[in-house]
Amino acid sequence: MPPDFTQLRVVSFESRRASEMRDLVARHGGRAQSVPTMREIPLETNADAFEFADELARGEIDAVVLLTGVGTRMLVDAVATRQPREAFVAALGRTTLVVRGPKPVAALRELGLKPAVVAPAPNTWEDLLEALDEQYPVSGRHVAVQEYGRSNPQLIEALVSRGARVRRVTVYRWALPEDLGPLRSIIGQIIDGEVDVVLFTSATQADHLLEVAARDDRDAALRQALGGVCIGSIGPIATEALTGHGLRVDFEPDSLQMSHLVRQLARIAGYLVSKKRAARDRGIDTNRWRRVEMSWPSEQAADADPILLRACRREPVPRTPVWLMRQAGRYQREYHVLRRNLSMLELCRTPEVAAEVTLMAVERLGVDAAIIFSDLMVVAEPMGLGLDYVKGSGPVIAEPIRTRGDLDRLRPVGRGGLPYVSEAVRITRRALAPHLALIGFAGAPFTVASYLIEGGKSSRYQHTKMLMHRDPATWQALMEYLVTVLRDLLNDQIEAGADVVQLFDSWVGALGPDDYRRFVLPHLRALIDGVDRSAPLIHFATGNPALLPLMREAGGDVIGLDWRVDLADGWATLGPDVAVMGNLDPLILHATPAQIRSAVGAILDKAAGRPGHIFNLGHGILPTTPPEHVAEMIDAVAELSARP
């Protein structure tokens, strides 16, 4: 099924591109209205621009900060009315050019110029400052800032506080439409509950909407009504404005394009509207809430039977359920915002933030399950081992386990050993829609042992294999210890509300079948046998398809397949009495939408509609993955697997 608003009433606030936005919404199944909220004020005698150009020509400007693509082009056009265009472009080229986002980059490319500093996604003004601090400290420099319709006093103040002398260059300004009738009419419709979704593509639209409502003494009523409307924002600038007006943005796309805003929101708007209205009905202030503050009516929870659970039980389902490993991660703008001031360990140790990240991913993607945000190796902390996360290296153990004597450093853990993980599960389960499953997880004994022995990532697992073969008694003792710790961790998560648990054996593919049977299989079987059977267990490993029969022997309700095995062959090897999960190569998500759809179809063909297939990648989403391609994949699974 393609992304569809399913006849929700969708209002876009527009100026230049009103008809384009209206057509986009209608094409995606929405009942579209486009309301003008602003008109451009021509700056034919732009004193700011002309004075800036003169200073630039004299070499008095050290850096130019360009905040918008349209503003960059208009600045050049305005100056060209007073001096040769080529001279102004050449003067720009002699300064340090700093840009926020891809649109000014494109505008400079048209002029034959290249920026020296580019603020990375998500391109907030704070990201711009971080880029400047790292690449071009502004202390003592004369910095010109191209302003865009409304000033950003926070950015100006931050530059001044860093020792910069700042020139503000006004390029264009916006006024209210001459005819306020349409805007007043839509304010009334929102207040009367006749609108489901509103879309903002600029900060000025938000300013003007609230300004007109205030003129008519309806701003309080409008804010209250917007508490039951899904609010979509094109990006950080519009979001900052809406937040400043006391409104909570429900969706912001990862790419700053109208088509992505409409398409991605069409997929999930129905869910967001129903969730927001259910929260409002329960007395939650939806204009100032976080996802973790949601609570669902108990009668909905009692009636829920998530599609993922039915697939784990190999029951018939109307379509193939889908979720993704690392579905919350660095490929998403909102993830970067949530992670801005937190290390990986701090995020995992803060249950409300871990739950917020978990809920963010499932809500944005429209998948059938949330997986609690944590890491395989946080379990090292209650064991008494030093743990850190090093950029580019992942988890690092300061003092690895290498000898029998090292085992004496391991502390008993017991139930409740990771209380912040259990609490994150409790918060998430309460806030997660009842029809969606919540997955808890732990690393499998071999993978966790390898981290503890190697001290971090490894390509050959030399120390691990040496300990296995040279000192099997120490290996046995370590594995027995880990079985107890990991079993308790999984059972704690089930008790806290996890509907499903997954064992990640990410590194076990480094072993051959004989070593797996001798050194891993007995311990995996003991662990799986000790997990509460009220929650289905997914057993996932990567790297060696020859291990599949042994994985099945170890146990699990669902066996996860990585991309190295043909799904039909893998399922035949495992047998019909087990569900399977997988198994698209994560790199396929870098291909074209048509290629992604074709690859999804090929995997679904291999599953042949048999009960018990859960669609997933063959490993986690890569940080470089385009978010819109993830949406393409999820939509393709839903459409191609739909059954009567």
User: Are 17 and 99 found together in one domain?
Assistant: no
- Stretch 409-435: mean pLDDT: 96
Mean pLDDT of the chain: 93
Q: How is 437-492 classified by DSSP, letter by letter?
A: EEEEEEE-HHHHHHHHHHSS--SS-HHHHHHHHH-HHHHHHHHHHHHHHHHHHHHH
Catalytic residue among 9, 314, 326, 364: 326
Instruction: Tell me, yes or no, if 326 is annotated catalytic.
Output: yes
Distance, in Å, from the CA atom of 485 to the CA atom of 489, rounded to the nearest integer, reads 6
The rounded percent of the chain whose pLDDT value lies above 70 is: 97
Q: How far is CA 203 from CA 151, 166, 199, 236, 249, in A?
A: 11, 23, 11, 9, 12
* CATH classification of the domain holding 84: 3.40.50.10090
Same domain, 479 and 557: yes
Q: What is the pLDDT of residue 590?
A: 97
Can you give the pLDDT at residue 45? 63
Classify residue 641: in a domain, yes or no: no
Q: How high is the pLDDT of residue 122?
A: 56
Q: What is the pLDDT of residue 43?
A: 59
In a domain? residue 393: yes
What is the residue type of 103? K
293: which DSSP letter? G
382, 517: one domain = yes
Pick the catalytic residue: 100, 314, 339, 487?
339
Which stretch of 48-52, 216-220, 226-230, 494-498 has the lowest confidence by average pLDDT?
48-52
Q: Which of 277, 280, 313, 330 is catalytic?
A: 330
- Whether 271 sits among the annotated catalytic residues: the reply is no
Both 248 and 395 in one domain: the answer is: no
Active site residue 58: no
Judge if 139 and 268 occupy the same domain. no
Asked whether residue 1 carries a pLDDT value surpassing 60, the answer given is no
- Do 584 and 617 contact (CB within 8 A), yes or no? yes
Examine residue 605 and state whether it is found in any structural domain, yes or no.
no
CATH of the domain at 582: 3.20.20.210
**Residue 294 above 60 pLDDT?**
yes
- Point out the least confidently predicted range of 112-126, 350-364, 516-530: 112-126
In a domain, 298, yes or no: no
Mean per-residue pLDDT, 155-180: 90
pLDDT, tens digit (0-9, with 9 covering 90-100), for 439-484: 999 999 999 999 999 999 888 999 999 999 999 999 999 999 999 9
- 55 with 142, same domain? yes
In a domain, 553, yes or no: yes
The pLDDT, as a whole number, for residue 406 is: 95
Whether 627 is covered by a domain: the verdict is: no
> Is 324 domain-assigned?
no
Residue 108 placed within a domain: yes
Cβ atoms of 67 and 97 within 8 Å: the answer is no
Same domain, 446 and 516: yes
pLDDT exceeds cutoff 70 at 123: no
pLDDT score of 311: 98
Give residue-wise pLDDT tens across range 551-580: 999 999 999 999 999 999 999 999 999 999
Instruction: Assess whether 55 and 147 both reside in one domain.
Output: yes
Chosen domain end from 145, 175, 205: 175
Q: Are residues 511 and 537 in the same domain?
A: yes
Find the distance separating the first CA and the last CA of the chain, reported in whole Å: 13
Is residue 330 flagged as an active site residue?
yes
Domain boundary among 117, 152, 175: 175
Q: How many domains does the chain have?
A: 3
Region 398-406 average pLDDT = 93
Q: Which two tokens stand for residue 485?
A: 């710790």
* DSSP reduced 3-state for 276: helix
Lowest mean pLDDT among 156-160, 176-180, 293-297: 293-297
Is 375 catalytic? The answer is: yes
Q: What is the average per-residue pLDDT within 278-285?
A: 92
Q: Cα separation of 381 and 399, whole Å?
A: 12
Q: What percent of the chain has pLDDT over 90?
A: 79
pLDDT at position 149: 65
CB 523 within 8 Å of CB 480: yes
**Residue 531 CA to chain centroid, in angstroms?**
30
Residue with tokens 């990862």: 254
**Which of 125, 144, 175 is the last residue in one of the domains?**
175
Name residues whose C-beta falls within 8 Å of residue 227's C-beta, 6 or more positions apart in sequence. Answer: 276, 280, 285, 286, 287
> Which residue range forms the structural domain that includes residue 394?
337-589
Is residue 121 very low, low, confident or very high in pLDDT (cuts 50, 70, 90)?
low
Name the percent of the chain in helix, strand, coil, to the closest 5.
50, 15, 35
Concatenating the DSSP letter of every residue in 338-378 gives HHTT--HHHHHH-HHHHHHHHHHHHHHHT-SEEE----GGG
Q: For 516-545, what is the mean pLDDT?
A: 97
- The active-site residue, picked from 172, 451, 461, 481, is 451
pLDDT computed for residue 334 by the predictor: 87
Q: Based on the fold, state whether residues 434 and 482 are members of the same structural domain.
A: yes
Verify that 363 and 456 share a domain, yes or no.
Answer: yes
Q: What is the pLDDT of residue 413?
A: 95
454 and 571, same structural domain? yes
Query: What secondary structure does DSSP assign to 228-254, as a single string?
Result: TSEEEESSHHHHHHHHHTT----B--S
pLDDT for the residue 237: 82
Pairing relationship of beta strands 117-119 and 63-66 according to DSSP bridges:
unpaired
